[in-house]
Chain A
Amino acid sequence: MNVKEYKKRSGRPPLAEITNEIKLSFPSLSANESFARAAVAAFISQLDPTPTELADIKCVLSEAVTNCIVHAYRDCIGDVKITVRLRADRSVCIEVKDNGVGIENVEEARQPLFTTGAAEERSGMGFTVIESFCDKVKIKSRLGRGTSVTMTKRLSSKPKAGAHT
């Protein structure tokens, strides 16, 4: 199936051409943090990222998934849903969504060192790490309904064949 057909079938807005997409869903168990990182890293390797870019993406994904496990589903187990889109302009768009408790004040949560999990030794740097490793971060949250974090990172232009970066 080519890109045109894909767009027609999925009915997606023609923002930038989406070249590939995966969806993952798993229960909010902490053992799945490393699974999510490995799965998304394997998918993104299609764009041939540099080792640093790959490490950055694994890091921000880990932060977002940990937020779902630690905060959104604080006292229960729920579904963590991840959508990864690769675009023709070599940008990677990762959406991490939950149906958990939601964030009361998103601006406050984005502040460095802000944490509600001091007892569990959270550093309060999760969103700070996400913001410094990504080009664009969008956080949507509704109390009692859930949160979605959309992170976009544009990869450097493709290295020449055979070149090692």
Chain B
Amino acid sequence: MIKNTCDILCELCADCLVITVSGEIDHHGAVYMRQMADEAIRSYSPERLVLDMSGVSFMDSSGLGFIMGRFALMRELGGATLVRDPAPCVERVLKLTGFDKRVKIVKNHKTEKEHERQRI
């Protein structure tokens, strides 16, 4: 088995499933990521799915397929999907293909959290 260039981590907090994707997303890694993500989505059926893509170092159109596929699955299950803190390479592909208008994107999640911490 050849190692994957991408990593995936699924965490459940309240009614929200956070899937953190990092590394390089290509056709090779997307197969494994899809399996892992769908397993988590189906077993928790969360109300909201957050795809954290801040740690992605490379993404091609396979990543678009991954995002849109999860988006479709969540819609089927009656939930919403959002992409959190897309890395510059992710944002560029999303923008150039017009996919940024199809999925909800939230930015500066981490800095907000830090601000909160500082306030406390």
Interface residues of A (CB under 8 A from B): 30-31, 33-34, 37, 52, 55-56, 58-59, 62-63, 66, 69-70, 112, 121-126, 128-129, 132-133
Complex: chain B residue closest to A132, CB-CB: B96
Chain A: which residue is nearest B65 at the CB level? A123
Q: Which of B24, B31, B61, B89 contacts A125 (CB 8 A)?
A: B61
Measured CB to CB, the nearest residue on chain A to B6 is A34
Do A123 and B68 contact each other (CB < 8 Å), given the known contacts A30-B28, A37-B58?
yes
1/0 contact trace for B3-16 toward A, CB 8 Å? 00100000000000
In the complex, which of the residues B5, B27, B59, B97 contacts A69, with contact meaning CB atoms closer than 8 Å? B27
Contact: A129 with B96, CB < 8 Å?
Answer: yes
A33 and B65 in contact, given A55-B58, A128-B97 (Cβ under 8 angstroms): no
Contact: B26 with A33, CB < 8 Å? yes
Q: Which residues of A contact B92 (CB under 8 A)?
A: 52, 55-56
B48-75 interface code vs A (CB 8 A; 1 in, 0 out): 0000000000111110111011000000
Chain A residues whose CB sits within 8 angstroms of the CB of B31 once the complex forms: 30
Question: A34-B5, A128-B97 given as contacts; is B69 within 8 A of A121 (CB)?
Answer: yes
Residue of A nearest to B61 (CB): A125
